[in-house]
Amino acid sequence: MRTPQLIEQVSRWLNPLAGLFYPNVCQLCEKEPATKAMGYVGKNCRQDVKLIQAPMCDRCGLPFSGDITQRFECTNCKELDLAFKWSRASVAAEGKGTVLEVIHRYKYHRELWFEPFLVELWLEGAREVLKTEKFEALVPVPLHPYKQREREFNQADRLARAIGKEVGLPVRRNLIERVVATRTQTKLDRQSRAENVRKAFEMRKGLRLNRERLLVIDDVLTTGATTSACAKTLLDGGAGEVCVWTVARGL
């Protein structure tokens, strides 16, 4: 008799393979054409994807509506002691839209065929900025070993490697490690999120940075607590400056 656990395990292994044989159809609506290069997300399903544009918080990149012409920091940034110089995201993610659905299926169900779509979004937002903002390397947010074994991959690591190839930057995968298996951040408030990850990361033993300017990569940023904790660890380890760019910004 097949148990639910066995079915789930087999499904995890078969899902990535299934992506190799999919017809050129959108894997969200299953109605319109979409290719592997498009991450199997069709044109109609992309219509609710919104690139983040100014005005936005100068520190965390939270978008605002209205005619704001001066630089400003949002309430979130004023209440948190954020370690990164600035954080940006390429697209807004809210409700049950395309972006959050794709990220959820990619991250929790190993639907890795969506990866080109997520990389495309990241690049669409960041490519022009990277022509003027120079970084020595990309640093993916690490998962705790328990969580990585459970999920079987680290989405930030995969995205960073794909992005690094596109922008010509090395990926420093082993600079920091997650040493505390923290609670999920989803249901925590702003201050609780910050406290939850305050001591979650450490530099790898024996490693010391030499004033490098680094860009931390992750899939979604909400309050910035996790990426800020990563940034602080890197700064304490000798980095000169740390910024953040994620695919999406939770609103």
Alpha helix segments (H runs only) across 22-113: 75-79, 98-108
CATH number of 4-250: 3.40.50
Quote the mean pLDDT of the chain: 87
Tell me the two tokens of residue 19: 């992506």
Residue 2: per-residue pLDDT: 44
Residue 1: per-residue pLDDT: 41
- Checking if the pLDDT of 73 tops 50, the result is yes
Peptide bond into 23 cis (omega under 30): no
* Interatomic CA distance for residues 80 and 194, integer angstroms: 8
Tell me the two tokens of residue 23: 């017809």
Residue 16: per-residue pLDDT: 54
* Residue 198 exposure: Cα atoms within 13 Å on the Cβ side: 8
In the chain, % helix, strand, coil (3-state, to 5) comes to 40, 15, 45
- Closest to 177 measured CA to CA, from 152, 205, 158, 153: 205
Model-level pTM?
A: 0.86
Cβ contact 139:175 at 8 Å? yes
Mean pLDDT along residues 84-101: 92
- Checking if the pLDDT of 4 tops 70, the result is no
The alpha carbons of the chain give a radius of gyration, in whole angstroms, of 18
Ranges of each domain in the chain: 4-250
Residue 96: per-residue pLDDT: 80
Most confident segment among 51-60, 61-70, 240-249: 240-249
Residue 213: per-residue pLDDT: 98
pLDDT for 196-210, tens place per residue?
677 889 999 999 999
Residue identified by tokens 């300017």 is 213
Residue 248: per-residue pLDDT: 97
Residues pairing with 215 in the sheet:
138, 243
- Checking if the pLDDT of 39 tops 60, the result is yes
- Checking if the pLDDT of 227 tops 60, the result is yes
- 76 or 44, greater pLDDT: 44
Mean pLDDT along residues 64-90: 87
- Checking if the pLDDT of 75 tops 70, the result is yes
- Residues 6 or more apart whose CB falls under 8 angstroms from that of 74 comprise 57, 59, 60, 62, 64
